[in-house]
Chains A and B, each alone.
Chain A
């Protein structure tokens, strides 16, 4: 067996190794956190749709994503209802309420879902119990999201507060989470939507179409596109999820920030590893030059540096990964699970490969020095 020069050189300088591994672990942690948030952003963008009991969606062409939707005529839904294969059409009204915290009297915006209580828009079992359905039917009553931020005050059933000069009562609870779009959500009946926001119900924000079982959503969507005028856009569930996801990731600063965070973390990692490798090479220039005098080729020294980089990346990844798992749990609990940050193996593998690439890149930058080791300089 070859003398494991790369490994022995690294472990010889214990404190330097610890610093190097801490640096790599830190970079790995930063990458994981940014990817975690980016993943949570993508997931929370699709979360609303995952819970909706519909296969095809109608939205206005001006709607960018769910929380900033524009309204379109309700008649489009009735037109869609005539298509064979459509089981049910459900208008969904969306808007923002100024919710006053009953304790501090500060008003904050909550995102409101409103629909006819006869429709089962959400698949959440809590929203379909007889008690919540009865609460939905009561005037000036809303259901409050348990995953809303604590700044909204009490979420208990029976809490009364003021919304746009009307007294509103919390009549029930559910768990949905607002993701990046909203800090709090409420669900109400379409009648209460009209009462609170004074927007006519013949303009809807989103049309939910449930199909008969065994029906091809793509085919129905294509058919709807032909039938309906251009003031609505038809999207299957997968298409609308992809639409919102790409909106959040590519055309908001939120997505950009996390993407940039990943890039900056990688740069930090590259610089740290470069620094360590360069110092290590500088300290051993005489020895490397001696190896060359003994008849070793530059390729051998190149390999030693690459090996050191890979050892650093593997050993640095492990603590980085473990602390990321811990911080994911912390981030999820700090946001009442509204921010769905969680580790998945694809991301773990991806970051592992990224870590190795990062360290090898540093090695490639620093390796130029070792190749210049010249035995004649030893004399």
Chain B
């Protein structure tokens, strides 16, 4: 297996903003208010370059998903700095956050497809958000062909297997050629082979479209697709390494 060895510690020299997709600076985040206020992220510094595949791991409750949703412009932000695709998210209104989301593809643990819509219609919903009516069907069909579902475009989710549904969800996330893809445990609901296929597919499409992928996963079988692995523990960025270094330092045998 080959891996890019662009190991980027968080204090690595700044890249020009042209090459940076996501830049997180001194980010703190809290849940709750008043006495119940609890800090979940502590001084996070992270930069994702364009075209990188970054996997975020860490134990449950470490704040991975919170960080993912923050980068995805799904939460309000008050402190620190979070720049996504050249747009500073801290201080943006709800409506402005919605605009940012339109440049991001989300892939969830569940496929979240409408049972009432065909595969193509589910993908078309993503094209419609950009007010692109003319060739939406054509774009959806092409995208579904790229994820290997050319024969299934007019099937409803009920007639598709778990892996096929997740591929429809990927097609939906990628059809607008977003610059950033955020994935949350995309393989958790799939068997080994389908999970592998889905990740490989994401990797291939990401390289073709040159987009950045940030993926949260517990699935050790897919760590090797990553250019970088970021480990988050108790809200702190514990390590930021390439796969080889990560597998050496985090191998249970090596820790003995």
* Selected contact of A294 from candidates B106, B109, B113, CB within 8 Å: B106
Q: Which one of B10-18, B65-73, B220-228 is at the A interface?
A: B65-73
Chain B residues closer than 8 Å to A1, beta-carbon distance: 133
Shortest C-beta distance, B82 to chain A (Å), equals: 15
The answer on a CB contact under 8 Å between A2 and B112 is no
Known contacts A3-B121, A295-B98, A379-B69; A287/B74 CB under 8 A: no
A3: nearest residue on chain B (CB-CB)?
A: B121
Shortest C-beta distance, A368 to chain B (Å), equals: 17
With an 8 Å Cβ cutoff, the count of chain A residues facing the other chain is: 26
Is A8 close to B, CB under 8 A? yes
The answer on a CB contact under 8 Å between B108 and A378 is yes
Shortest C-beta distance, A376 to chain B (Å), equals: 5
Q: Which secondary structure dominates where chain A touches chain B?
A: helix
Known contacts A295-B99, A296-B129; A3/B110 CB under 8 A: no
The answer on a CB contact under 8 Å between A8 and B117 is yes
Shortest C-beta distance, A104 to chain B (Å), equals: 63
Is B115 close to A, CB under 8 A? yes
Shortest C-beta distance, A20 to chain B (Å), equals: 15
Q: Which of B99, B108, B133 has the most CB of A within 10 A?
A: B108
Chain B, range 100-159, C-beta contacts under 8 Å to A = 101-102, 106, 108-110, 112-117, 121, 124-126, 128-129, 133
Chain B, range 27-43, C-beta contacts under 8 Å to A = none
The answer on a CB contact under 8 Å between A379 and B128 is no
Is A154 close to B, CB under 8 A? no
Shortest C-beta distance, A308 to chain B (Å), equals: 11
A2: nearest residue on chain B (CB-CB)?
A: B128
The answer on a CB contact under 8 Å between B108 and A379 is yes
The answer on a CB contact under 8 Å between B112 and A378 is yes
| Interfacial residues, chain A to chain B (CB-CB below 8 A) | 1-3, 5, 8-9, 11-13, 284, 286-287, 289-297, 374-376, 378-379
| Interfacial residues, chain B to chain A (CB-CB below 8 A) | 65, 68-69, 72, 74-75, 95, 98-99, 101-102, 106, 108-110, 112-117, 121, 124-126, 128-129, 133, 172, 184
Q: A9-B114, A294-B106, A378-B110 are in contact. List 4 more A-B contacts (CB 8 A).
A: A290-B108, A295-B98, A295-B101, A374-B74
